[in-house]
Chains A and B, each alone.
Chain A
Amino acid sequence: MSSGYKPDILWSPHHADRYVICDTELSLYRIGPAGSSETKAGALPLSEETAATLLAINSDTPYMKCVAWYPKQEPECLLAVGQANGRVVLTSLGQSHNSKCKELVGKEFVPKHARQCNTLAWNPVDSNWLAAGLDKHRADFSVLIWDISSKFSPEAVPAEKVRLSGDVDSGLVVTKPLYELGQNDACLSLCWLPRDHQKLLLAGMHRNLAIFDLRNTSQKTFVNTKAIQGVTVDPHFQDRVASFFEGQVAIWDLRKFEKPVFTLTEQPKPLTKVAWCPTRMGLLATLTRDSNIIRLYDMQHTPMPFGDEVEPTIIERSVQPCSESIISSFAWHPSAQNRMVVVSPNRVMNDFTVFERISLAWSSTTALMWACGRHLYECTEDAGQGVAAAEKDIATKMRERAQSHYGHDTVQVWRNHVLAGGDDPQLRSLWYTLHFMKQYTENVEQKQQSNKQSLIYSGIKNIVKSSSGTTETRRCWSGSDRQTDVPWYHSEERSLALQLCGWISRGPDIDVEPFLKSLEQEGEWERAAAVALFNLDIRRAIQILNKGASAEKGDLNLNVVAMALSGYTDEKNSLWREMCSSLRLQLKKPYLCVMFAFLTSEPGAYDAVLYESRVAVRDRVAFACMFLNDAQLPRYIDKLANEMKEAGNLEGILLTGLTKDGVDLMESYVDQTGDVQTASFCMLKGSPGEVLKDPRVQCWIENYRNLLDAWRFWHKRAEFDIHRSKLDSSSKPLAQVFVSCNFCGKSISYSCSAMPHQGRGFSQYGVSGSPTKSKVTSCPGCRKPLPRCALCLMNMGTPVSSCPGTGKADEKADLTRDKKLAQFNNWFTWCHNCRHGGHAGHMLSWFRDHSECPVSACTCKCMQLDTTGNLVPSDSV
């Protein structure tokens, strides 16, 4: 490398902790951890962790142009130095005088005509061979291959004579090279080819790269190119060579040497060093003159040059090992991954590790994987029993829910929240809302009131807006004649809203008793008491609280609350009121808190109840429907609906219904949770086609289906599709497969529908229905027989006979299951490649043990052609 006097850096081939810096002299350094006992006070810091210690300096060889380190373990630290006058000198650093390389050190190899030595390369196998590339001379060769042991060969001057003459030096000068190559040309760079150590790649002045084979030097392969400044072989891919010229790097494939595989031309300044990373496949580092940046080209799985069009993927990056200083040279660490030492023109060294790009992949289950360097990290969810269900990843939850048929209960819709695990209050609210909506529409259908039916799914927000004819009454506290000064509102729509909230089962009478009973059953004492109180039944409320206190695991404090409640007085300035309104805030239970808030607030000013966020939305809405007037109510509902929408709280579906607003709310929920499963099922319940047409809804549904496929829950996905097509008729898939007759070419199902016998579908070919009844084995169009099953040799259409080995008892036990399977077993199936096939059941059992086609003369590997055929569904049927 024509580095002039700029320092270059050379790593020891065998000692990962040693390197040499060469400029006007050679300095051997040892690299070690900073601050350790090994490093002395004079150590130079290379990075935060490492420091270098100067071990030895050798300034015996002036006019150095290039240096190469002896590749073998022994003798260690033997260096060949190419000088400006073309002489190659062997020298050593930091070795004791009786070391093994003593005889070699000082040996000189002198070309016939002096000129600059540009490059040196030791043969990696025949390590006695040292190739030197020189500038051109009119009468001499530019590549000389020296044998460093030549003095010891028998032809050399006998050692005796040398001793007698006393001229030891003369014995150390070798002038006869082993091989001479490349006449009349300069050699700028050369390297031995690792695939065949007798071959040498030269880069010459006359703009060509040439490969010489030493066994026959008159033959060579060569290619004209400008990129001749330096050649270097990829240590991981022995046919890949990089060569450079000015600002261009050409990458060659030696098997297709006519032209470069590709050329990297980004840099306006001439390159000074190009080096493959020894520890990382396909990583090339380049350095330009007077630059503080090292550019890295990451060649990703370079495809073989099939056609001219193939361009490999290259990821280009730059690194700046030392922030300001210009880099003179760099060297990759031979073993530590992606590590290099860079040296600046004034010999400041820096230890630097190129950080590997991180690639990351989410699994369709909960795992997350990322790769960095040679490490692969997996992050999986803690599957231990101690993990709270709420903390589980949504993917885990969705998988579990899919397996428990979540969303599929279309009769008892509220039960879906139990299928979902029953521990999510939002899902509970959602499914109850949907349940009440469904319940109501069913009732309405009986009443033939179709106008309300569309309203019911549009949520309380819209129901309340359409409200008219509200009556304002002042009800008495039940059980007493005392008139309250609390105005109480009632209308048809309001009672509809109360139904949706679940407080009453059907209007128009306001009878919360069944609701209170169910709450009592579930042990929601405070909530039941609050609902009773809001229905102005203090006595019932006290009774509920008493019951709660005496129940198993009951809270005795409830009695105290009941006591406080019993002291209710509507006198404005009573002590009771004063104490209740201040102390209620200390109550931990939200429902108890709102009870006292209700009792102590002024009529019409129930903010303390309405905005108590710990109280379920449905209870607050029901409360509002009873106690807010026509002006206040829509305002409150709107405000609450917007709050829910922003928070993505599914309780808000009660307000928005399955409208566009509802989709907005669901969008916000999905954004937060990623739960496309609930979103898909919920939106499918919305009977109006508009929400289903919303692209967001379609996206959730498609994503959920993809997710099921990715989990190999193919049966679940099929179930979902069936479920979906029931609710959304537009999503029914069209027929995708047609079977045509070999003889007349008509579809066997099409032709039969055109025939007088109407309504014959696949069912007649044993696809469905009783296996014994239908037996159509010929084409309805031309009456020619249908193809035979390759295994049972019966014509298609013949039902599959049951397996003879199966016992009767088993058959009965698995009756339902068998029946289902039998239907599919009768299907036609065939290989798309060899076109052989037969009954699906037969084919399935054949390919369980074979990969080749069942037809004896056919060698088609049908099973291997099916990429998904070997995947087993991970869900049960």
Chain B
Amino acid sequence: MDLHILDHRLRVTSISKTGLEQYTHPLIKLIFLRNRTRCKFFSLTETPENYTVVLDEEGFKELQPSEHLQVEGSTWLPLNVVSNGNASSSSQSVGVTKIAKSVIAPLAEQHVSVFMLSTYQTDFILVREKDLSVVVESLVEEFNIFREEGGESVPVHSQDACNGLQRNGREVPHATVHPVLIPENQFCVMSLDPDTLPAIATILIDVLFYSNSPREGASIDQDMECIKFFSFSMIDGYVSLVMDTEAQKQFPTDLLFTSSSGELWRMVRIGGQPLGFDECGIVAQISQPLADSDISAYYISTFSFDHALVPEEDIVSVTEMLQAQRMSS
């Protein structure tokens, strides 16, 4: 297995719902006017609390600082696992589950905080730049690590990165088991030909920026059960969309790519209150049991909470499993 440290230096930011109007211009530019910006990594996720924007430094320049913009202080680097083509295809599970044991668990053990971003195409594991030496040290056993620089893949060896194993220095807090919320809405993960993006521009703008305006026919009763969640990302020219089935109805069916099986996903939101960026082992908490039961999952971290997506048919067992976990702790 190969682990690639991608050539993006990322910032994790959050825009408050009230301050959105100040940022619609840069966001629209980053989403639709690809040739006007040099941003190669852009992800926008709407949650009930705020908008989480993860973007590279080129894109970050577009965002004017204000009271509505919260920025996490560190620079994050995306990691990507490449199966090298000869991985056994026996396990049908996808996404985070596949890398739970090989990447997420070792990093949790080393107390490296990770920020997960799953897309239609692949899973990105974001780590802080300052943690990179620890990351390399703890994963070098398992992976051939390459750092991508200017289009070339340069092999990374552990001694290059760090002189011996050093702990993060942080106290090992007793793993807190966070409360989870399992909303009722069904989600789908989709992609799109970037060339057809202009065709759905108005719908996308509507869904992204006007989601709070009352919609005809949408019953307010469901609000308690459903949560607003929409994610758009465009990374190296690949578009990925995560939305619930309600939002999906607004899009023309022939433009969005999805699985032929039409699979749907349920969400598990982790955290009763904002999780912050320092706590580690949260992803591992969820992904480990899923991996044990061979359940595939997407995992999307946002500024405040983490979100795992699991197949609809597995939600019952996942719920039980998480409850069991709470009981035991």
Contacts and interface: CB of A to CB of B under 8 A. Distances in A.
Interface of A: 4, 63, 84-86, 110-116, 135-139, 141, 175, 180-185, 206-207, 210, 218-220, 222, 224, 226
A85 to B, nearest CB: 5
For A85, A111, A220, the residue with the greatest tally of chain B CB atoms inside 10 Å of its CB is: A85
Contacts of A135: 121, 238
Contact of B81 (A111, A115, A175, A184): A184
Interface string B35-52: 000000000000000000
Contacts of A218: 86
A210 B257 CA distance: 27
Interface stretch (B189-197, B224-232, B315-323): B189-197
Interface of B: 2, 4, 81-83, 85-87, 89, 94-95, 118-123, 151-153, 191, 193, 195-196, 238, 254, 256-261, 296
Contacts of A110: 260
Contacts of B122: 136, 138, 184
Contacts of B94: 138-139
Contacts of B4: 206
B195 A183 contact: no
A224 B146 CA distance: 12
A428 B46 CA distance: 106
Given A114-B191, A135-B121, A136-B122, A183 B83 contact: yes
Contacts of A85: 193, 254, 257
A112 B152 CA distance: 31
15 contacts: A63-B196, A111-B260, A112-B259, A113-B260, A114-B260, A138-B95, A138-B118, A138-B119, A138-B121, A181-B85, A184-B82, A184-B87, A184-B122, A185-B82, A207-B153
A136 B121 CA distance: 6
Contacts of B86: 218-220
Nearest to A65: B193
Contacts of A222: 85
A202 to B, nearest CB: 9
Contacts of B81: 184
B193 A137 contact: no
Contact of B89 (A114, A180, A220): A180
Given A138-B122, A139-B95, A184-B83, A113 B259 contact: yes
Nearest to A207: B153
A511 to B, nearest CB: 99
A738 to B, nearest CB: 62
Contacts of B296: 139
A222 B122 CA distance: 22
Contacts of B119: 138
A528 B81 CA distance: 108
A63 B194 CA distance: 12
A183 B261 contact: no
Contacts, number: 85
B248 to A, nearest CB: 14
A137 B120 contact: yes
A226 B95 CA distance: 27
B257 A86 contact: yes
A114 B259 contact: yes
B35 to A, nearest CB: 13
A112 B92 CA distance: 12
Contacts of A114: 191, 256-260
Contacts of B254: 85
B36 to A, nearest CB: 18
B121 A137 contact: yes
A110 B254 CA distance: 14
A180 B86 CA distance: 11
B82 A206 contact: yes
Given A183-B89, A184-B122, 12 more contacts: A84-B193, A114-B191, A114-B256, A114-B257, A137-B121, A138-B94, A184-B82, A184-B83, A184-B85, A185-B85, A206-B4, A207-B152
A114 B191 CA distance: 8
For A136, A141, A184, the residue with the greatest tally of chain B CB atoms inside 10 Å of its CB is: A184
Nearest to A63: B193
A85 B258 CA distance: 9
B142 to A, nearest CB: 16
Nearest to A4: B195
For B89, B119, B153, B260, the residue with the greatest tally of chain A CB atoms inside 10 Å of its CB is: B260
A210 B260 contact: no
B82 to A, nearest CB: 5
A433 to B, nearest CB: 78
A184 B1 CA distance: 11
A136 B120 CA distance: 9
A141 B121 CA distance: 11
For B86, B119, B191, B261, the residue with the greatest tally of chain A CB atoms inside 10 Å of its CB is: B191
Contacts of A207: 151-153
Nearest to A5: B195
Given A138-B120, A138-B123, A218-B86, A113 B257 contact: yes
What are the nearest 10 A-B pairs in CB distance?
A139-B94, A114-B257, A184-B83, A84-B193, A183-B83, A138-B122, A113-B259, A136-B121, A218-B86, A85-B257
For A4, A138, A180, the residue with the greatest tally of chain B CB atoms inside 10 Å of its CB is: A138
A226 B85 contact: no
Contacts of A111: 260
A139 to B, nearest CB: 3
B59 to A, nearest CB: 21
A185 to B, nearest CB: 7
A210 B86 CA distance: 12
Nearest to B94: A139
Contacts of A220: 85-86
B97 to A, nearest CB: 10
A181 B260 CA distance: 19
A84 B153 contact: no
A85 B239 CA distance: 13
A114 B120 CA distance: 10
For B122, B196, B257, B296, the residue with the greatest tally of chain A CB atoms inside 10 Å of its CB is: B257
A116 B82 CA distance: 20
A141 B94 CA distance: 12
Nearest to B87: A183
A224 B258 CA distance: 31
Contacts of B259: 112-114
A116 B83 contact: no
A174 to B, nearest CB: 11
A114 B2 CA distance: 25
A207 B120 CA distance: 20
Contacts of B153: 206-207, 224
For B82, B87, B118, the residue with the greatest tally of chain A CB atoms inside 10 Å of its CB is: B82
Nearest to B196: A84
A112 B82 contact: no
A113 B296 CA distance: 15
B260 A175 contact: yes
Contact of A112 (B83, B195, B261): B261
Contacts of A4: 195
A141 B87 CA distance: 11
Contacts of B261: 112
A86 B192 CA distance: 11
Contacts of B85: 181-185, 210, 220, 222
Contacts of A63: 193, 196
